[in-house]
């Protein structure tokens, strides 16, 4: 058991300028719950799932996160005060899998043009946070453009859900450069525990463990999305963002 996390055979040390606050953010179905479960136990940071604002907020329209959120409804969000001490962990999910999940469990995203099938829903206008978008693909683009504009000027790390599922130790070791570690926790034991437990149960139990690792493959995309739907999706995803997050277009 590695009680003190190691990188390259050397024990990790506390960062010189650690973040005092941390906020996991991301669209619905992007892995925010999984990231939060790791972050709150591995690091010695005061953690609440909606600490700065509601985690699914789409900047600059930040939403109050309920009890424990550091600002009150109706008051300006205090980003100017917290930007030097907060680490924003922005979750990203390959859009094909995000679309499949969100068409199945849309939470507070409304489909305005009807239809229950995947093909119908990716072609539907949607409503989210009081605004209308032409499609879910547009919303995926808008989310990450908003993070670039409003969160990247502060301390921000993007975490791909596929990496957190496939190589969690590598992802979590990178966070040691920004957060003070909880040295009472074994990273290996925690990964074993969390990776084999559903990250959430609201909206239906999510996949986990080895099944989750198998889920994120190109074969799964082609099994579940028709060529016609893939072409429709690809035409509406931002190529710059796909390249930024190292996501290939599925032909």
Residue-wise pLDDT tens digits, 141-160:
999 999 999 999 989 999 99
The answer to which of 68-82, 111-125, 202-216 has the lowest mean pLDDT is 202-216
What is the rounded CA–CA span in Å between residue 66 and residue 17? 29
What is the rounded CA–CA span in Å between residue 28 and residue 105? 9
What is the rounded CA–CA span in Å between residue 212 and residue 166? 8
Please give the average per-residue pLDDT across 106-121, as a whole number: 95
What is the rounded CA–CA span in Å between residue 65 and residue 129? 14
Residue-wise pLDDT tens digits, 229-244:
999 999 999 999 999 9
What is the rounded CA–CA span in Å between residue 99 and residue 12? 38
Nearest to 2 by CA among 160, 129, 185: 185
What is the rounded CA–CA span in Å between residue 195 and residue 146? 30
**Residue 12 has which token pair?**
């990790």
What is the rounded CA–CA span in Å between residue 181 and residue 76? 31
Query: Does position 217 have pLDDT exceeding 80, yes or no?
Result: no
Nearest to 50 by CA among 33, 68, 27: 68
Could you tell me the pLDDT band of residue 79, with boundaries at 50, 70 and 90? confident
In terms of DSSP bridges, do strands 21-25 and 86-92 run parallel, antiparallel, or are they unpaired?
parallel
Of all helices (H) and strands (E), which one includes residue 244?
Answer: helix 239-244
Query: Does position 112 have pLDDT exceeding 50, yes or no?
Result: yes
Residue-wise pLDDT tens digits, 14-73:
677 899 899 999 999 999 999 999 999 999 987 789 999 999 999 999 999 998 898 888
Q: Which sign, positive or negative, has the C-alpha torsion 50, 90, 92, 117?
A: positive
Q: Name the pTM for this structure.
A: 0.88
Query: Does position 108 have pLDDT exceeding 60, yes or no?
Result: yes
Could you tell me the pLDDT band of residue 2, with boundaries at 50, 70 and 90? very low
Q: How far is CA 123 from the centre of its chain?
A: 24
Predicted confidence at residue 1, as pLDDT, reads: 34
What is the rounded CA–CA span in Å between residue 172 and residue 49? 18
Question: Taking a C-beta distance cutoff of 8 angstroms, is the pair 99, 170 a contact?
Answer: no
What is the rounded CA–CA span in Å between residue 164 and residue 161? 5
Nearest to 159 by CA among 52, 23, 63: 23
What is the rounded CA–CA span in Å between residue 192 and residue 142? 34
Q: Would you give the DSSP letter of residue 47?
A: -
Higher confidence at residue 22 or residue 78?
Answer: 22
Vertex 87, ends 86 and 93: CA angle to 5°? 145
3-state secondary structure 135-181: CHHHHHHHHHHHHHHHCCCCEEEEEEHHHHHHCHHHHHHHHCCCCCE
């Amino acid at each position: 058991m590695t009680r003190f996390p190691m990188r390259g055979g050397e024990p990790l040390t506390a960062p010189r300028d650690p973040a005092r606050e941390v906020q996991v953010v991301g669209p619905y179905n992007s892995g925010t719950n999984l990231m939060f479960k790791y972050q709150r136990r591995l690091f010695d940071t005061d953690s609440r799932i909606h600490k700065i604002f509601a985690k699914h907020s789409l900047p600059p329209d930040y939403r109050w996160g309920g009890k424990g959120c550091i600002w009150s409804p109706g008051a300006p969000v205090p980003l100017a005060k917290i930007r030097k001490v907060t680490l924003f962990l922005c979750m990203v999910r390959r859009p094909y899998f995000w679309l499949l999940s969100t068409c199945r469990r849309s939470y507070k995203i409304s489909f305005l043009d009807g239809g229950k099938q995947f093909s119908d829903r990716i072609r539907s206008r949607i409503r989210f946070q009081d605004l209308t978008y032409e499609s879910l693909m547009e919303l995926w683009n808008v989310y990450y453009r908003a993070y670039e504009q409003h969160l990247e000027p502060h301390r921000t790390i993007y975490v791909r859900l596929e990496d957190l599922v496939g190589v969690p130790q590598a992802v979590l070791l990178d966070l040691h450069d920004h957060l003070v570690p909880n040295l009472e926790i074994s990273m290996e034991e925690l990964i074993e525990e969390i990776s084999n437990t559903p990250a959430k149960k609201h909206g239906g139990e999510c996949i986990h463990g080895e099944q989750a690792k198998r889920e994120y493959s190109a074969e799964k995309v082609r099994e579940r999305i028709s060529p016609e739907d893939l072409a429709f999706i690809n035409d509406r995803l931002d190529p710059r963002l796909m390249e930024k997050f190292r996501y290939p277009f599925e032909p």
